[in-house]
Amino acid sequence: MSHQHFIIHKPYGYLSQFVCELKKKKLLGDLHNFPEGTMAIGRLDESSEGLLLLTTDGKMSELVRSKKVEKEYYAQVDGIITDEAIAQLQQGVEIGIRDVKYQTTPCTAFKLETAPEFAPRTRKIRDDRHGPTSWVSITLTEGKNRQVRKMTAAVGFPTLRLLRVRVGAIYLHDLPPAT
């Protein structure tokens, strides 16, 4: 049996799933007519955007979700992120996972000197009058629930916009958001 694999740019406001009990949620099946048995490899929450891999192969999904494969995210954060905050992210920070404290593993993190050029988000983030923002790249091999958002908040720079830009050797590049 041959399996199929797909790469999409998940837009803001969609769930990384095909079925949901909540009637008014936008789902991956609303974007394209994927074959039966297609599943998202990992998840991006409803507010997150970017590279999402889909497959009909459960073993491929398990491999990509493992700690063997890096996932890189670009986060637009509130304020101008400091070198100290970057160092804390690199060393790992304590976050809460379902009311349990969790220490993230060391990761690669650095400030992006120029803002990446992505298509505008369908919902505006905020006005410039609310203060400056900056962008940071964070590369993880683990994937806890809302981990990047919790990590940036833990170092004092809450995430305003989050995009996954790479999974292993697969990059988002200029793939437009699926609509």
Alpha-carbon distance of 26 to 13, in angstroms, equals 7
> Per residue in 102-114, is it b (16+ CB within 10 Å) or e — as a string?
bebeebebeeeee
Amino acid 75 reads A
Alpha-carbon distance of 152 to 132, in angstroms, equals 16
The 8-class DSSP code of residue 105 comes to: P
174 is catalytic: no
Alpha-carbon distance of 37 to 6, in angstroms, equals 13
Are 135 and 111 in contact, with CB atoms under 8 Å apart? Answer: yes
The 8-class DSSP code of residue 26 comes to: B
Amino acid 168 reads G
| Catalytic pick among 45, 99, 128, 174 | 45
Residues with catalytic annotation?
45
